[in-house]
A and B are shown apart, each in its own frame.
Chain A
Amino acid sequence: MSVDQATVRRIAHLARIAVTDDEVPHLAQELNAMLAFVEELSAVNVDGVEPMTSVIPMKMKLRDDVVSDQAGADIIVANAPASEDNFFMVPKVIE
């Protein structure tokens, strides 16, 4: 499997990372180098092997279904690049 330039643009858009035309060929090359590196995995026999879901077996704990976070709205938005009246400000999304 190898990545072409159209795929690079599609992946970049899925990842929400802007790429310039100059970057695309180089990125394709780098991604292909990584895919070549992991290619040897296709030769490993994984028949009947369960994919790992938890590296250390542990029982998931449940907590009581109650409000536990006492942080105020001003704390939640304290680090926002743009906020007003404790709301996050974003560019207009609805016409």
Chain B
Amino acid sequence: MTQPTDLTLADARNALRDRKISSVELTQAHLDAMEKARALNCFVAETPVQALAMAKASDVRLAKGEGGVLEGLPLGIKDLYATKGVHTQACSHILDKFRPEYESTVTAQLWRDGAVMLGKLNMDEFAMGSSNETSYYGPVASPWLPPKWTEDNARSALASDKRGLLVPGGSSGGSASAVAARLCLGATASDTGGSIRQPAAFTGTVGIKPTYGRCSRWGMVAFASSLDQAGPIARTVRDCAIMLGSMAGYDPKDTTSVDAPVPDYEKSVGASIRGKKIGIPKEYRIEGMPAEIDRLWQQGIAWLKAAGAEIVDISLPHTKTALPAYYIVAPAEASSNLARYDGVRYGLRVPGRDISDMYEQTRAKGFGKEVRRRIMIGTYVLSAGYYDAYYVRAQKIRTLIKRDFELAYASGVDAILTPATPSAAFGIGEKGSADPVEMYLNDVFTVTVNMAGLPGLAVPAGYTADGLPLGLQLIGRPFDEETLFSLAEVIEQSAGRVTLPKPWWN
């Protein structure tokens, strides 16, 4: 047999069912891999005792022929999901030593279905970032070697400040890197503007942000509540389908979660796409886009056509307004959500002259630079005199962005195919230090989907000339994740499964 960590989640599930491996063996193999990969900085907290206890319990259930859909499968959890008694800080200093007394709905459902928790994954602070460089716990390195680097180059960079190594993307950088480095079979992630799809594209993994309301947000640390949505990152389309089936579902504790049955997503993997109408939006052909991204896109079109899909050109005229409108809506909601961190009820407290000074000192010390910047811009656009000019206008533009998609779907389009990112992964320390907007442009293709509340999936589809993975994005109708899984499976099969980098970091 191959290494247990090389198994996909679906293969591991089958091996467990057939008693070819035990959950304890599978879990221990992942714990060992995590230990050897600590320098990548994927995990901010490891929970080996809990993991092995959960694995043991799974083995008992499996021996009796019982067990849920994820029985005995070791997963990583993004640090923004509340996990009872375990490190939960959204990788911020302001949640210093926070240990929730409750479990998020999404993770509770994973444990209900038998999954095993390996630990908590690194991320951009409060999910604000596209490279995992804003984390209080430091950047995460991608397991992919930078172009023309030797393993020795990479090992010495890993031992120092990681500069020049590739970012895994963000904000779910720890999730994407851990999945690509085979430290877990799958990971929870979350997506407010592209935080599942961009890191998946950067690391040759698959990620889906489901429709807004598909998963409960209860127990997830809030960034921008009208945009945030949970989703998985895993190594294959099928693995994502299996995980989403467990994560999704109605929760009375989140009034924005939708009371609708969760389909068996795995059934849609491998289903025919014959006759599906795929829209190609001309506005996604942006100025300065590398030729290899365009070639990838054309290749994706050809694959779907060959599998029987019908390709149609569409127009989504408000596409270019999405990113600026997002940088009003998201910071505005963040400034409100993050007002709760006051040094009184939980987390960090920095003493001050009086209570007001205590708030100000605590928040200055507890929030990182990017988070402070976004809170301030959010406070500004919501302040008296600017509310209508910025916030209300941005929400009107959001209506227009959603209407573009509605018109495309009303014309019979089943799904939309676009590139996932405007480039492959870049180096740690390379972007955004002088101009924050440079970093924001990473999300130019993904942010529209959050603004419209739609499901979006990133699937690896090819490589740059330098051998770095590139992804395509599929955008679906509301609550039609099934079509995305069917289409993505065609792309995955046509492109051939990604060959993940050998563990040079060991």
Task: Decide if A58 is an interface residue (CB 8 Å cutoff).
Answer: yes
Q: Which residues of A contact B223 (CB under 8 A)?
A: none
Taking the closest CB of chain B, its distance from the CB of A91, in whole angstroms, is 5
Q: Which residues of B contact A40 (CB under 8 A)?
A: 320-321, 324
Question: Which residue from chain A places its CB closest to the CB of B341 in the assembled complex?
Answer: A16
Binding site secondary structure of chain B: helix
Taking the closest CB of chain B, its distance from the CB of A23, in whole angstroms, is 9
Report the interface size class on chain B.
35 or more
B346 and A80 contact, CB distance less than 8 A: yes
Q: Which residues of A contact B379 (CB under 8 A)?
A: 11, 14-15
Q: Which residues of A contact B372 (CB under 8 A)?
A: 17
The answer, among B101, B342, B358, B437, for a CB contact under 8 Å with A78, is B101
Docked Cα-Cα span, A58 to B373, in Å, equals 33
The answer, among A8, A30, A41, A49, for a CB contact under 8 Å with B436, is A30
Q: Which residues of A contact B376 (CB under 8 A)?
A: 8, 11-12, 15, 17, 27, 31
B380 and A56 contact, CB distance less than 8 A: no
Within 8 A of B (CB), among A23-44: 27, 30-31, 33-35, 37-42, 44
Q: Which residues of A contact B234 (CB under 8 A)?
A: none
The answer, among B356, B389, B400, for a CB contact under 8 Å with A16, is B356
The answer, among B347, B359, B360, B398, for a CB contact under 8 Å with A81, is B347
Question: Which residue from chain B places its CB closest to the CB of A8 in the assembled complex?
Answer: B376
Residues of B in contact with A (beta carbons under 8 Å apart): 97-101, 211-213, 226, 252, 255-256, 258-259, 318, 320-321, 324-325, 327-328, 335, 339, 342-349, 351-352, 354-361, 363-364, 367, 372-373, 375-377, 379-380, 383, 386, 389-390, 392-400, 402, 435-437, 440, 451-453, 478
What 7 A-B pairs have minimum CB-CB distances, sorted nearest first?
A55-B453, A51-B395, A79-B346, A81-B349, A18-B360, A18-B364, A46-B396
19 A-B pairs (CB sep. < 8 Å): A11-B379, A16-B339, A18-B363, A27-B376, A31-B373, A34-B327, A34-B377, A35-B377, A38-B328, A41-B397, A49-B397, A49-B399, A49-B400, A56-B256, A58-B256, A58-B258, A78-B99, A78-B101, A82-B349
